[in-house]
Amino acid sequence: MPKQLDFIASRVTEGKMTRREFMGRAAALGVSAAMASTMFADAARAAGPVRGGTIKIGCSGGESSNTLDPALVASEVPLNVLRHWGDTLVQVSPTGEIVPRLAESIESTPDAKTWRFKIRKGVEFHNGKTMTADDVLKTIQRHSDEKATSGALGIVKGIESMKVDGDVFSVTLSTPNADLPYLLGDYHLVIQPNGGVDDPAAGIGTGAYTVAINEPGVRHGFTKWANDWDSDRGYADSSEILVINDATARTAALQSGQVHMINRVDPKIAKLLGRAPNLDVRNVSGRGHYVFIMRIETAPFDNNDLRMALKLSINRQEMVDKILRGYGGVGNDIPINASYPLFDDSLAQREYDPALAAEYYKKSGHDGSPIILRTADGAFPGAVDAAALFQQSAQAAGIPLEIKREPNDGYWSEVWNKQPFCASYWGGRPVQDQMYSTAYLSTADWNDTQFKRPDFDALLLQAKAELDLGKRKALYSEMAGILHNEGGLICPMFNDFIDAVSNKVGGYDSDPNGELMNSFAGVKCWLT
Amino acid sequence: MKNIPISAMIGLSFTGLYFFVAIFAPWIAPYGMAEVVGDVWEPSSAKYLLGTDSIGRDLLSRMIYGGRTTIFIATMATILSFTTGATLGFIAAVSGGWVDQLLSRFVDLIMSIPSLIFALVVLSVMPVTVNVLILVMGLLDSTRVFRLARAVAVDIAVMDYVEAARLRGEKLLWIIFREILPNALSPLVAEMGLRFIFMVLFVSTLSFLGLGVQPPQADWGGIVKENKDGIVYGIPAALAPAFAIATLSISVNLVADWVLNRTTSLKGGRG
Amino acid sequence: MHPIVKLVAQRLALSTLLLLAASILIFVGTQILPGDVAQSILGQSATPENLANLRAELGLNEPAVSRYLSWLNDVLHGDLGTALTNGRDIGESIGYRLKNTLFLASCAAVISVPLAIFLGLLAVRYKDRWPDKMISAVTLTSISIPEFLIGYVLMYFIAVKLGWFSSVALVNDGMSFFEKLNAIALPVMVLTLVVLAHMMRMTRAAILNVMQSAYIETAELKGLSTFSVIARHAFPNAISPIVNVVMLNLAYLVVGVVVIEVVFVYPGMGQYLVDHVSKRDVPVVQACGIIFAAVYIGLNMVADIVSILANPRLRHPK
């Protein structure tokens, strides 16, 4: 049997077998899908990357109001664009480790308070200047400036001071944080010449490609940067991102060969699309989750019995089956799943239990008036349908939910974080600390459930400084328990990232950090 | 009744059927409107005559209830838009002068504001109810009817018989209803048939903006939207409501054609 | 002065006033809408500090009236300003989008308007016989199917299955005229199907309305063929409602095709406006709004003038 496997693997390396054929044969030989997927990637990589050509990506999440300024990047297309022309100090690998990029090495003091980054030498910006530790300092300064408008402001808040010493950039924190490198791997923090102070939207960085065409909301074109410091990327001569926001148009563009890969395949059609020739649907479970948010300080959600009743009256498995069509996993009313390091799977899964829900509902003494759940098509894909399912399952427990569909327009500014009960979406963060600090710390700006618990905050702070992983895991699971039982979060499901990739593409490898290989597909893939 | 042509009979019976089903929806629909009964996009079977929709609700039941919302809103909005639009259009045409200028330019102004902005502003200041929805649709649409009604009536208003009526000292409303209306009826009836269809489609556009009917209620255009993703992969769930809209529109217009025929022959001539 | 010239001059002057009024209404509308551009730029990453910073930076703390007046002043000097969201020159971005929109609209109009009128005449000629019924049934079906559905079906069967035209109608300046035509073939087909029925049915109805008149009888008695009676004698007298409906549809082709733009990834004005409305980018919304308003007001004026020219009694008022 191994012999046969070797044979089909060699066919892959020679480029004579597609992924789908390989997966089919491997399955026939009794190899698990995950195993076969890894084997295929290895075999394909053995063939080595091919240089040349133009990679075309059909991508949703772009608007004509987009800009190249990294500080203001907030959706998929600008993020993919950013990955083409810029680099960060460090990067999170698909397996969750920190990979040094523009920093060559990282070290910290034992108390995790001071961090030193040795900056890579001989890296050239697209404008011909050499990158220095000073550029790094200026970049982080720009994003952490209180007057700044950066989306990363919250991330770099904890920095007390920064300094440059030769080619070393060092950071001192106000409170210890063992996860600081993960914070500096945030995509906003692309290193720009002189920190981008002069022209933040110039699109000048150290990335594999230079910006050639910038038509926001339409397309973005890139050409290979000749003096790229990293030879393990940027195989194609040029790359192009077409903004295709309509899901059906995106799949049609892939099927008719106008683009080589697309993001965000609708789970409802993923299996059907997968039957089409010459392409593969690739999904990977990530940290993004679809949620219903109850604001704890607003009646009637200040009553934990009512919150518990609602948590028990949602059918998580049905949501995964019908909204995600199986492309995802059930949530457990905490924002963390097994994709996170130090996840504790001993927390019991909450199940749909209408009888128990009815009991809690009765105990809560709610007056029986309908509970208004706000939703919008843009809250997350299928949010309106999910709300309808929730309404049905709650009805079985005797809990009256009333759905109110809000316009997509203004949903994030007028409904989310304002209305007492609404549908929402979280993209997840690389580590637990960051997820909790962003949305569940009493003082967090985005504490959308108004979860304010001093004991929880204390545990979070303690975990931040704890370098012993075992102890840290115990702290995290204690926190998860509090949130699970008393929080305002109803988390029915974690969604997979689903891309579809043409068979002409080599080097595609799923990354749980985000869709399209954490948006690196354009710089890491090649055309065969 | 003998004189009704076959096409009009078909039109009348289909229109009648749809209205009947809409009125008696709760007694006809096999399942509840929001009830999740099966798996996603099940094919049609004896249990689910038209199959199930994108989250496993019975498509037939949803369409029966959806028809109720769709037909009610579209009918009311069309009536509103025609009474307002045609009356004002006739008044403008017959009065002429500054009344005409004022009304016409006001309509130009309203039409020139992008409807997206209009809808969003209305949405932000008014509660979203079916009445508001009908009002917004009817009034926005009456601008289009106004222009047509005025254009037709201006041509008629300079005819000798209208002139004669004026000289007789007839009142404005008498001229409008006795002289202008009968002679302007054909284009208006033809327009009414189409406007009704535009209304049916308009509801679903507004639903998408958040101004339309609230889930789990449905309208036909909305059901098409909910199921559109399956269409290119051979899942017919979106086709059933599209078929319903198409047959409704053809039958309503068949009736309109018949009325049109009757009105043209009413004018005497050689018929 | 000839009364028609006087009328046109009068209407042009009025139109300018209307445009001004429209710009005020649109501005007021954008102020009523909840949320502002600072909030939408920062989106989910908005914190009180950086919101305040951005508002100050974009000059949103000025009173609304002075913002409107300074905008108006700039526009009168030919400067549409820069987009608040990405700092790009609005004149430049809008020029590119407007050119695309007009290109798509005129291609669709060149096909659909003559076709609709011809089909309408044909339907009258063969009234109540099978060509009339066929034309009615087909056009009614095409108008009652939501446009995105027609788009998907054509896209799937023509672009994906047959591989004839491009499913992505992305045009750019590097393309030749014929390459552009090839790229927009599918959206033009859909738009034609969408606007055809309305114009065709109005042509039919308006002509039928005048067919009973005495002069038609005279023409018939002269021994003219039925089709030339319809085309030469009935059509000119029915032109007023037809031209109004044609103008409505032309306006739709310019301002209302955002769904088609999204489905076929066409870089036109509709998507540009929608994106910036949702970002509350007032200068861009204002600029688009003014252009759309000008289209409506202009087309309505043309329709009114054609109606007057077509009717001798209106042309020479007593």
Task: Tell me, yes or no, whether B143 lies in a domain.
Answer: yes
Say whether both A235 and A338 belong to one domain: no
Q: What is the 3-state secondary structure (H, E, C) of chain C?
A: CCHHHHHHHHHHHHHHHHHHHHHHHHHHHHHHCCCCHHHHHHHHHCCHHHHHHHHHHHCCCCCHHHHHHHHHHHHHCCCCCECCCCCCEHHHHHHHHHHHHHHHHHHHHHHHHHHHHHHHHHHHHCCCCHHHHHHHHHHHHHHHCCHHHHHHHHHHHHHHHCCCCCCCCCCCCCCCHHHHHHHCHHHHHHHHHHHHHHHHHHHHHHHHHHCCCHHHHHHHHCCCCHHHHHHHHHHHHCHHHHHHHHHHHHHHHHHCCHHHHHHHCCCCHHHHHHHHHHCCCHHHHHHHHHHHHHHHHHHHHHHHHHHHHHCHHHHCCC
Contact indicator for A40, A19 with CB cutoff of 8 Å:
yes
Say whether both A37 and A151 belong to one domain: no
Say whether both A147 and A159 belong to one domain: yes
Which chains are within 8 Å of B by 3+ CB pairs? A, C
Say whether both A233 and A264 belong to one domain: yes
pTM (predicted TM-score): 0.86
Say whether both A350 and A484 belong to one domain: yes
Residue among A323, A392, A404 whose CB faces B34 most closely: A392
pLDDT band of residue B264 (cuts 50, 70, 90) is low
User: In this predicted model, what pLDDT tens digit does every residue of B6-47 receive, in sequence order?
Assistant: 888 888 999 899 989 988 888 888 888 888 888 888 888 888
Task: Tell me, yes or no, whether A15 lies in a domain.
Answer: yes
Task: Tell me, yes or no, whether A70 lies in a domain.
Answer: no
A242 vs C contacts (CB less than 8 Å): 168, 170, 265
**Stretch B226-250: mean pLDDT:** 84
Residue among B40, B209, B232 whose CB faces A322 most closely: B40
Measured in whole angstroms, the distance separating CA C203 from the mean position of its chain's CA atoms is 19
The nearest alpha carbon in chain A to B119 belongs to: A407
Q: How many domains does chain C have?
A: 1
Q: A406 and B230: CB-CB below 8 Å?
A: no
User: In this predicted model, what pLDDT tens digit does every residue of B40-70 receive, in sequence order?
Assistant: 888 888 888 888 888 888 989 999 998 888 8
| Out of A9-18, A112-121, B167-176, C17-26, least confident range | A9-18
Q: How many CB pairs under 8 A join A and B?
A: 68
Task: Tell me, yes or no, whether C135 lies in a domain.
Answer: yes
pLDDT band of residue B2 (cuts 50, 70, 90) is low
Q: How many CB pairs under 8 A join B and C?
A: 177
- Determine contact: A153 vs chain C, CB below 8 A: yes
- Determine contact: C161 vs chain A, CB below 8 A: no
Q: How many domains does chain B have?
A: 1
Domain that holds residue A238: 54-62+207-273+497-527
Q: How many percent of chain B have pLDDT more than 70?
A: 94
Q: A65 and C57: CB-CB below 8 Å?
A: no
Query: Quick one: pLDDT at residue B257?
Result: 79
Domain that holds residue C163: 90-315
Q: What ipTM is given for this predicted complex?
A: 0.82
Task: Tell me, yes or no, whether A68 lies in a domain.
Answer: no
pLDDT band of residue B271 (cuts 50, 70, 90) is very low
Q: How many domains does chain A have?
A: 4
Please state whether the peptide bond connecting residue A300 to the residue before it is cis, i.e. omega within 30 degrees of 0: yes
Return the DSSP state at A167. T
Say whether both A172 and A253 belong to one domain: no
Task: Tell me, yes or no, whether C272 lies in a domain.
Answer: yes
Instruction: Read off the CATH number of the domain in which C276 is found.
Output: 1.10.3720.10
- Choose from A54, A59, A60, A64 for mutation: most chain C CBs within 10 A: A64
Domain that holds residue B49: 6-264
Q: A377 and B208: CB-CB below 8 Å?
A: yes
Q: How close A338 comes to chain B (CA, Å)? A: 27
Say whether both A136 and A158 belong to one domain: yes
Q: A406 and B210: CB-CB below 8 Å?
A: yes
Task: Tell me, yes or no, whether C144 lies in a domain.
Answer: yes
Query: Quick one: pLDDT at residue A89?
Result: 94
Interface of A with C in 435-464 (CB under 8 A): 445-446
Query: Quick one: pLDDT at residue A370?
Result: 93
Say whether both A103 and A6 belong to one domain: no
Say whether both A235 and A138 belong to one domain: no
Residue among A266, A377, A389 whose CB faces B55 most closely: A389
Tell me phi and psi for residue C164, to 5 degrees: -80, -60
User: In this predicted model, what pLDDT tens digit does every residue of C199-208 receive, in sequence order?
Assistant: 998 888 888 8
Q: A407 and B230: CB-CB below 8 Å?
A: no
Q: C140 and B144: CB-CB below 8 Å?
A: no
Which chains are within 8 Å of C by 3+ CB pairs? A, B
- Choose from B214, B233, B235 for mutation: most chain A CBs within 10 A: B233
Task: Tell me, yes or no, whether C33 lies in a domain.
Answer: no
Q: B155 and C155: CB-CB below 8 Å?
A: no
pLDDT band of residue C61 (cuts 50, 70, 90) is confident
Residue among C205, C217, C307 whose CB faces B154 most closely: C307
Instruction: Read off the CATH number of the domain in which B80 is found.
Output: 1.10.3720.10
Task: Tell me, yes or no, whether A159 lies in a domain.
Answer: yes
Q: A249 and C159: CB-CB below 8 Å?
A: no
Task: Tell me, yes or no, whether A118 lies in a domain.
Answer: yes
Query: Quick one: pLDDT at residue C119?
Result: 92
Query: Quick one: pLDDT at residue A497?
Result: 92
C202 vs B contacts (CB less than 8 Å): 187, 190-191
pLDDT at B270 over 50: no
Task: Tell me, yes or no, whether A78 lies in a domain.
Answer: no
Task: Tell me, yes or no, whether B201 lies in a domain.
Answer: yes
Q: C170 and A219: CB-CB below 8 Å?
A: yes
Task: Tell me, yes or no, whether C67 lies in a domain.
Answer: no
Say whether both A23 and A117 belong to one domain: no
Q: How close C293 comes to chain B (CA, Å)? A: 4
Residue ranges in chain A whose pLDDT is less than 70: 1-2, 14-15, 44-46, 146-148
User: In this predicted model, what pLDDT tens digit does every residue of C172-218 receive, in sequence order?
Assistant: 777 888 888 888 889 999 999 989 988 998 888 888 878 777 778 88
Say whether both A231 and A297 belong to one domain: no
Say whether both A522 and A391 belong to one domain: no
